Every structure is written in C-alpha cells, then in structure tokens.
Structure 1
Amino acid sequence: MRVLALSDTHGLLRPEVLPLTAQADAVLHAGDVGKMEILEALRAVSPGPVHAVRGNVDRSPPLSDLPETALLELGGIWIYMLHDLSALDLSPVAAGVQVVLSGHTHQPRAEEQDGVLYLNPGSVGPRRFRLPVACAWLHLKGGGVRAEPVVLAP
C-alpha cells in the first residue's frame, strides 16, 4: 500500500501534487490545509480515502471542524496524525502505533524511535525560508512501514 503524506498546504495546492495523489492508495494531510478546496481537489483525484487533521491556521468552518488528531489503520499499520508533534497526547508505543504523522514545522523529517516512525513530510504549500517543498510516501507492506521523502522542484 502506498500512502501519500502531506502537510502545510496553507491554501496552495501545487500542480505537482495531483499526479502523486492519483497514484496513492490513501492520502494523509497533517494540517494547515488553509482552504477546503485543497481537500476537495485531493479527493477528486485520489483513488482512495483522504484523511486530514486540523492545523493552527484551520480556524474557520469547515476546516475548524476537522479533528485535532486521527488514529487510522491502513494496510495493517496504525497511524496517529496530528499537526504539531509537541502536542502529542499519547504514548505511541503503549497505544500500538507504528507511525506518528505531523507537520507544522515545514521541515521534512523521518526518524524512528522505539520502533515508531515519526514522520513530518514537510510542506507542499508556500515555500518557507530555504526549506524544500516536500511530501513523503509511506510504503506499508507485510506489517512494516518505510518512508520515502519526495522533494518537489521549486
């Protein structure tokens, strides 16, 4: 199973994201969507489900109605989504979570700790400072997970 992990679109859906979305079995957006049209566009091309959590800029309806966190099972892997990792409100190991997906910093990062993959795919929205415009694939297979960073051309 291939899952596209996105974050921090801030109302900008880059055209390079749509072909990736069309190849995804599921799409996960870790918040700061910015405009509901972003989720609608992702859903229009994704062959699978699109899940999103609320970020700190998602303050008005309908985006403010998104959940702060989401616990999902995809391909036999438990994934916990939230926007800001510093607000993590559970022990992933104790909860049986294999992936914690967050955004907020716009900085791509994948780090394994105690058997849990902590993934920040970066931002595919407006470029911030000198940070790359980035997202990530999650490859879920046989109870295992592997992150593959994707840097989009500026």
Structure 2
Amino acid sequence: MKILVLSDTHGYIDERILHYAKIADQVWHAGDIGNIDVINQISKVSKLKIVYGNIDSSKLRIGLEKFIFFKVEKFNVLITHIYNKKLFNEIRSNNNIDSNFSNILVCGHSHILKIKFYKNFNTLLINPGAIGKKGFHKKRTMVSFEIKNNDITNMNIIDFGSR
C-alpha cells in the first residue's frame, strides 16, 4: 500500500501535490486543511484519511475528527494535528493496543519535517512538514512510503523547494 502523508495545506493545492496523491493508495492529511477544495480535490484522486487542525473553521470541521485511529496490517496508525503524548497514551489504552504491535503517529502543526522512531514506544513519528504556502517554513515537504508485508519500505521525503 502506497501512502502519501501531508499536512498544513492552509487552503493550497496544486497539480504537483495531486500528482503524488494520484499514485498513492491512501493520502493521510494531518490537518490545517484551510478549505473544502483541498478535501474535494484529493478525494477525487485517492482515498483520503484526514483530521482537522487549529486553523480550520467550525464549518470545515463538520464531519472531521481531531484525531483518527485505524489499523493497516500490523500497524496502529494515529493521525492528529497537534501531537500530545497524553492523548496518544489515552488512545493506546482505550483501544487495547497490544504492545507487540508497531505504531505510526502522524502529526502536523509545527511546519517542521520530522521522521523519528521512538524505540521505547515502538512508534514511528511522521511529521511531513508543511506543503502549503502560508507559515514560517522555508521549504514545502511531504512524505511517502509503502506498507508491504507488515513492513515500512521506500520512505521518501518529497521536497517541493522554497515556498
């Protein structure tokens, strides 16, 4: 399964972003969407899993969640806009997550690209940075990878260059 991870579009979507969305089996968006057009355009070309962020209006938040939790093969996946260790631990305990399972935590908000494995939590943190043009970030980035046979492969940073 090919996954595209993005965040902080802030209402911006273009053909380059949609190109990567089209070749993904799923797009995971970690919030600060900006407007409904972003959701509509990505949804036309790929399966979208999305949460709202702190800049998203109450109207845009209708039908969206602050976080979503789901499983892909052996992975427990949590997508939220703002990472909160307490929230993560609550979700893990409320969903009876077996410690033998690996976890993927996707977040946004900081506009800073970060991919890090936390061995003590058996969790891969993915913050794809910001792909939109609003904010303080200097580069626009997304992340892609594959989940195949209970393994994460082909992890790539997609660098769109200066905003």
2:139 corresponds to 1:132: yes
TM-score (norm 1): 0.88
Give unmatched runs, 5+ long, in structure 1: none
2:68 corresponds to 1:73: no
Residue equivalent to 1:150: 158
SS at match of 1:90: helix
SS at match of 2:39: helix
- CA deviation string 1:33-60 (max 9, x = no partner): 01011010001122xx201101001122
Give the alignment of 1:3-152 within 5 angstroms.
3-46=3-46, 49-86=47-84, 89-91=87-89, 95=97, 96=101, 98-114=103-119, 115-146=122-153, 147-152=155-160
Q: What RMSD over aligned residues (CA atoms) do the two structures have, in Å? A: 2.0
Deviation at 1:64, TM superposition (A): 4.5
CA distance, structure 2, for counterparts of residue 126 and residue 82 of structure 1: 21
CA distance, structure 1, for counterparts of residue 142 and residue 25 of structure 2: 15
Structure with greater proportional strand content? 2
CA distance, structure 2, for counterparts of residue 87 and residue 15 of structure 1: 35
CA distance, structure 2, for counterparts of residue 116 and residue 152 of structure 1: 27
SS at match of 1:89: helix
Structure with greater proportional helix content? 2
Aligned residues: 152
CA distance, structure 1, for counterparts of residue 85 and residue 37 of structure 2: 26
Give unmatched runs, 5+ long, in structure 2: none
* AA at the equivalent of 2:157: P
Deviation at 1:153, TM superposition (A): 3.4
Judge conservation of contact 1:9–1:33 (CA < 8 Å) in 2.
yes
Q: Which structure would you say has the larger Rg?
A: 2
Deviation at 1:86, TM superposition (A): 3.0
CA distance, structure 1, for counterparts of residue 86 and residue 20 of structure 2: 28
CA distance, structure 2, for counterparts of residue 52 and residue 40 of structure 1: 12
Identical aligned pairs, as a percentage?
Answer: 24
CA distance, structure 1, for counterparts of residue 125 and residue 51 of structure 2: 16
Could you list the structure 1 runs, at least 4 aligned residues long, displaced by more than 6 angstroms after superposition: none
CA distance, structure 1, for counterparts of residue 134 and residue 44 of structure 2: 24
- CA deviation string 1:115-139 (max 9, x = no partner): 2100000111015335310000132
CA distance, structure 1, for counterparts of residue 144 and residue 86 of structure 2: 22
SS at match of 1:38: helix
